[in-house]
């Protein structure tokens, strides 16, 4: 299966953060922003967040739920969970390779 998130090009980063946040349950925009800040140390500006949400909905990776007051929660779909898993596994390989190479090339004697 191709890495569907990488197909989003420069929008892959915010999409990965949003999907990772939604992996443990539905959240609305403000809750997503706060959760992402907590686990990733990244602040997504509202324009970036809502553009990512729109793209993820368009690709069938998340879906909007019924609004509660003025807040509309989103949840990850099965397709989104599969795409996130594939993307994170690919990134794990990159991370492990990079860290291993740094350790051997830059290790202090």
Q: Are 64 and 74 in contact (CB under 8 A)?
A: yes
Reading the chain (109 residues) residue by residue, the pLDDT tens digits are: 456 777 777 789 999 999 999 999 999 999 999 999 999 999 999 999 999 999 999 999 999 999 989 999 999 999 999 999 999 999 999 999 999 999 999 886 6
Residue 7 confidence (pLDDT): 76
Residue 1 confidence (pLDDT): 46
All residues at 6 or more sequence positions from 63 whose CB lies less than 8 Å from its CB, including other chains = 57, 74, 75, 77
Nearest CA-CA partner of 32 in 49, 56, 7: 49
Residue 102 confidence (pLDDT): 93
Domains of the chain: 6-102 (1.10.10.10)
This prediction has a pTM of: 0.89
């Amino acid at each position: 299966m191709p890495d569907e998130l990488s197909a989003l090009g420069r929008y892959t980063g915010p999409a990965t953060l949003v999907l990772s946040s939604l992996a443990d349950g539905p959240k609305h925009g403000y809750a997503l922003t706060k959760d992402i800040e907590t686990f990733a140390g990244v602040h997504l500006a509202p324009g970036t967040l809502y553009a990512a949400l729109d793209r993820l909905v368009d690709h069938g990776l998340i879906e909007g739920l019924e609004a509660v007051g003025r807040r509309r929660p989103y949840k990850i779909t099965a397709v989104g969970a599969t795409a996130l898993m594939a993307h994170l596994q690919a990134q794990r390989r990159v991370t492990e390779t990079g860290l291993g190479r740094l350790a051997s090339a830059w290790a202090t004697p």
